[in-house]
Structure formats: structure tokens, C-alpha cells
Structure 1
């Protein structure tokens, strides 16, 4: 009888834990976490309220290029100027504009003092010095994996010198996503030797090793590459993708990504997506086998079923970069995966207009295995 009673109590506790967790449409509706009496024991014991610093590495997606698209309701000259802005404050992985649906803003709901997120907008950067508002958003439009070392030349000193950061002791989360330009570069003789799966994996691993060696108390959130090849059949012939006029030659994704102009190029990008993500997963596995108390790499698959996505997921500027709708949706699915074991993460991500945000509970940790 005693054993049966104990099992019943355990079952009630388990049910209570399940009931305590919830999903919402706005992070503001998530209940606060109860403060812990002591901090995390190690990197594998992190809650979201332990994260004090956020940073990011990547390309134009992380830089927020084209998020607001081409506004056909205003003067064409003004629309053209605005459309080439980087809306870094709205970037899903590192933006911090008020009320934006971004990972840093979700963290901020639990840790009001988090810093490092980028805010506002400005004209696109191409390997230039970053404005102050960029903070720890080191992403550069046009970047490929080879350029991550250059981005770290900015990120590491900036993090060390930024006000409000205890560089040695604060827990830091660095979001890293890159690969779209690498895939497009596979059809460009200037870059094709630098974007092989082996080179891609090598550059990513070198960047993570540099973070490991130079940034204490760090969690690298490694995000998979999108299947860029699926963009082109979806956007082909769409008037939405050429707002400036009705000339099909102005569809930006074909101009900026030469691999999208032929079946052979599309196949090459399709194969590279799988190969790149395999390299990313192997990097994650390497750090699983070499765990430490102060550094970890987590991996979030991003196998978007783009062929089933609405055209509005992409910026009407070029139908290549995600729109505001796209960034908001990706912020939710990547956030949700942070609380899921690797074996439980979705193999394919299908678009859901009603995608919700997971509210972590007191016992939840950022999952590192």
C-alpha cells in the first residue's frame, strides 16, 4: 500500500509539472520564474534568467536586412532608400527593439538586465565598423562562414569593453547562424573553393573554438542553415517579389544568388544544405563528448519546409531574406527548441500561422544534450 501511495504522489507531481508549463502568443503572458537562492552550478544548469549577455554572429539574416521590405505606399525614392536598411533591432536572434518578437526580448522577460542586443536600423553594412546601436550583433550582410573570424575581431573586444557586462562572470548566449551566402557562392568561381562542406565546417568550428578560448561562461546556440533552394520554385513568377515594377528580371533572389538560376544550381544548394547541417551537427556532437562546466554548444535544426510557406514569410524586396513575419516565426521555433532534448527536436519545421511561444517553468533548464 505504501509503495502504491508513493507512486500516486509521484504521478501527481509529474502532472502538476506538465500543467505548470504553457504556451502563449506573446512572451509577456508567460509567468515569471521564481528567483533561485543561488546561481547556476554550471553551463548545463542555466535558466533564462541566468543569461546576462546576448551576442550574435552571422550574415544579412542576423543583420536584419530587408525585414520591412519595399513599401509601395510611399514615394518610390524614399521606399528604395528605406528598403536597403538593416533592421537589427528586429532580427530574430539578436534584436531588442521594444515589443519585437526576438530571442533577446524573450530572455529579457526573465532577466531584465540582459544586454548585448542590437536596436534600431541603419543602412546596410558590408564589413565596416559597426554603429554603437549594434552592440553585440557582429553579423555582416554578405558574410560567409569564412568571415566569422572577422566578426569575432569585433565581437570579443566589444564584449570585453561594454558597460554593464561582467566579462569574467556573466553567463553569455551567442547565437550563430550562417550559410545562405555560402550556398549561393557555390556557383560563383570567386567563392566556390571556400564554401565546400569541409571548408564551411572548418570555419564554423574555428569560430566556436575561438569563442571557447576567449569568452568565459558561454553558451553557443548553433542554428542550422535554411534550405535556400526551395525559395526559388516558391517565388518564381510572383508579383509580390518584384514590387518596383513587373519585370521578372528584378526578382532579387535570382540576382543575388546565381545558383537559383538553373536546375543544376538548385540541386547543388539542396545538397549543400544537407552537408552543411551534417557538419553543424558533428560540431555539436564534438562538444557533447568534451563537456566542461563553463562552455557548451547547443544545436537547433532549422529544416524549414519552405515549399509550404506563405510568400509573405519573405521580404518583398528580394524574396530571399525573411520578412518581419519570417523573423517573428523563426524566433518562436528556435526559442522553443532551447528547452527540448536533441532527440525530441522536430526533423522538419512546417509553417504555422498560430505558432506559440513556450513558457519555461522553474525547473526548466536550457537543454545542452
Structure 2
């Protein structure tokens, strides 16, 4: 009898929570969360408990080419602007006012969150491990140590910079504040699968080892943190889709006909990219499962897959610069689907989310927690 009453109460509570939940097109239309004492257990973590956000990755997360190629301005100006990294608009950690980003969504519920990247800058290209140390010398982007051209091998250097910077900021509590670190890398690894100079460094096995090593270092070096692993895109689909849209894709090829992606030149290379993409996803899933079976009260890994069927996407998702990087609309959509997935168990996350410029944002209720299962 008592058990039946409890089950009925829980069912009613669930129905009330669902009825209170809503989806909006602007995060500012979400109801505020009731204030509470921050959780001491990651199993009870709400988005407003997050006080610090960091990001690791490559040019996709750095926001390269977001604004595309502006044909309405002089060529010299358009060329320079198209090569900017619009880091303040990056889907995961951009903090520009009004931008659709995961950082801004958290900031709406937790105004004291810290770590956003703002504004834009000329891209800094990394073509090897030595560039890690050169780049860190002049980077002023707080917890957003990402560079165009990075591969999974570079995560360790990015992470060293992120950790040292976190510890140096005096007005945050490194030991006690809850943190979220978004990681997405793999596009350059995939393209390098046919590059004889470092193809042995980008195999799925090596990729998995580099990412796992980074996650392990986060666990051992950063207290009270949730790692948001985001898979890379299957780039083999991009070249098939955008090859017939040369007028849209201004810089699809340079004057030599090179796409900048060595594996995109022939069907064999595209097949290898597809194979590596599946391999990378499998390794990320293994990392997620590894930490699922080794849980603690202060550390967790969640996994967001990108099983996108690009053949069903409109070209608006891609930057007009190169049809390789996401556009502003693409980044805004990514921020929404990855935000929405934070509240779902792995088994309920959409298999093949479709690009939709009218995608809505889930408004968490007081009873919602970041789902780490």
C-alpha cells in the first residue's frame, strides 16, 4: 500500500515537471530556476551549479569562418574577415551578447559563470606540436585555448594551458566551483588520415588514446568537473554534398585546386575518412562507458554524438567561406541540440538530429539535472 502511494506521488511529480517544462526559441523566454544551495554531488548537478566553463578542440569550436565570405564588401576586406575566428559566437563557449551558445544558456541561469570567449581574432594556424608553445605565449582567451589546425594529439598542450589559467584567476574557487569542459576534436585528424607526414598520429586507436589521456588528466587535475565529449562530424559527407555548390562555397578550393583536406581528393580517401569517423566515435563511446563504470561524486563524462546525415541538411548549415566549417546558423543550431541533450540519458538522445533553423531550446525546471547516465 505504502509502495503504491509512493509510486503514485512520483508519477504525479513527473507529470507536473513535464507540464512545467517548455521549449523556446530564445533562452530569455525560459522561466528562471529557483535559487538553491549548489550541489555537493555531481549526480544532483543543475545547470545553475556550473560556475566555470572551458573548451578544448580545433577550428570548429574556435568559430573559424562563421560569418562566411561577404560578397557585398571589397574583396580585400571580405578576404580578411572571412579568415577570422569568431570565438564569441562559438556554439560551446562563445560569450558575445545575444549569441546562441551553450555558455550563454548557462549564463542565463547562472549569471556568475566564468570562462566565456568573446569577440573575434585572426586565426592562428597550428601544423605541429611545437605550435602549442608558441600559441600559448600570446593567447589571452582564458579557458578557450583552441587553435585552428589542432588534432587530438594537441589536447594535452591545450589542457595544460587551460589548467594553469584556471588556477591563476583569483576570483574563482578552483577547488570548490563546479566546472564543465566541452571537448570536440577530430576534423583535422580525419583530413590527415591520407597525409603521410602524420597519418600514423590520427588513427582511431591513437585518437582514442589522446582523448582518453586528456580526460584522465582532467579527472586527476581539476576538481568538481563534468566533461562534455562531443563527437566530430563525418566529413566524408561534406565533400559529396558541397561539391555541386561551388557558387555557395567561395573557398572550397584554393588556386591549386587543393581543398585543404588531403583525403577529399578521391573516393578512397573519402572512404578512409568515413572509416576513421566511425572509429573516432567508437573510441569516444568507449571513454564515456569507461567512466560510467567508474563513477565518483565529483567527476563525470557525458557523450554527445554527431550522427548527422548531411545529405538532408540545407546549405545554410555551412559557412559560405569553405562549406567545411559551420556557419553562424550552424553554430546556433549545434548549441541548441547539445544543450537539449544535456538533460537526456544516453539512450534517449536523438540518433540523427536534422538541421533546423527553427530549433527550440529546452527550458530546464527545478527538478531537471544534467543527466550523466
* Counterpart check, 1:351 vs 2:350: no
Q: Conserved in 1, the CA contact under 8 Å of 2:329 and 2:357? A: no
Matches within 5 A, 1:1-369: 11-36=11-36, 38-126=37-125, 127=131, 128-129=135-136, 134-243=141-250, 249-250=253-254, 255-369=259-373
Q: Conserved in 1, the CA contact under 8 Å of 2:87 and 2:119? A: yes
Q: What's the CA shift string for 1:161-193, capped at 9, x where partnerless?
A: 124311111000000000010000001001110
Q: Conserved in 1, the CA contact under 8 Å of 2:146 and 2:158? A: yes
Structure 2 CA distance for aligned equivalents of residues 230 and 150 of structure 1: 30
Other structure's SS at 1:299 match? strand
Other structure's SS at 2:54 match? strand
- In the TM superposition, residue 132 of structure 1 has moved relative to its aligned partner by 6.1
> Would the alpha carbon gap of residues 34 and 255 (structure 1) be closer, same or farther in structure 2, given more than 3 Å must change?
same
Q: Conserved in 2, the CA contact under 8 Å of 1:69 and 1:83? A: yes
RMSD of aligned residue pairs (Cα, Å) = 2.1
> Would the alpha carbon gap of residues 242 and 356 (structure 1) be closer, same or farther in structure 2, given more than 3 Å must change?
closer
- In the TM superposition, residue 238 of structure 1 has moved relative to its aligned partner by 1.0
Q: Conserved in 2, the CA contact under 8 Å of 1:49 and 1:107? A: yes
Q: What's the CA shift string for 1:138-158, capped at 9, x where partnerless?
A: 111100000111111211101
Q: Which moved more, 1:232-241 or 1:299-308?
A: 232-241
Structure 1 CA distance for aligned equivalents of residues 137 and 236 of structure 2: 31
Other structure's SS at 2:259 match? helix
Structure 1 CA distance for aligned equivalents of residues 26 and 240 of structure 2: 33
Structure 1 CA distance for aligned equivalents of residues 306 and 270 of structure 2: 18
User: TM-score under structure 2 normalisation?
Assistant: 0.93
Structure 2 CA distance for aligned equivalents of residues 368 and 266 of structure 1: 34
Structure 2 CA distance for aligned equivalents of residues 224 and 253 of structure 1: 29
Structure 2 CA distance for aligned equivalents of residues 345 and 251 of structure 1: 42
Q: Conserved in 1, the CA contact under 8 Å of 2:250 and 2:322? A: no
- In the TM superposition, residue 354 of structure 1 has moved relative to its aligned partner by 1.8
- In the TM superposition, residue 240 of structure 1 has moved relative to its aligned partner by 3.6
Unpaired runs of 5+ in structure 2?
A: 126-130
Q: What's the CA shift string for 1:107-154, capped at 9, x where partnerless?
A: 001000001010000101234137665221111110000011111121
Paired positions, count: 365
Structure 1 CA distance for aligned equivalents of residues 181 and 79 of structure 2: 32
Structure 1 CA distance for aligned equivalents of residues 172 and 256 of structure 2: 40
Q: What's the CA shift string for 1:13-43, capped at 9, x where partnerless?
A: 332211001110010100000011x321311
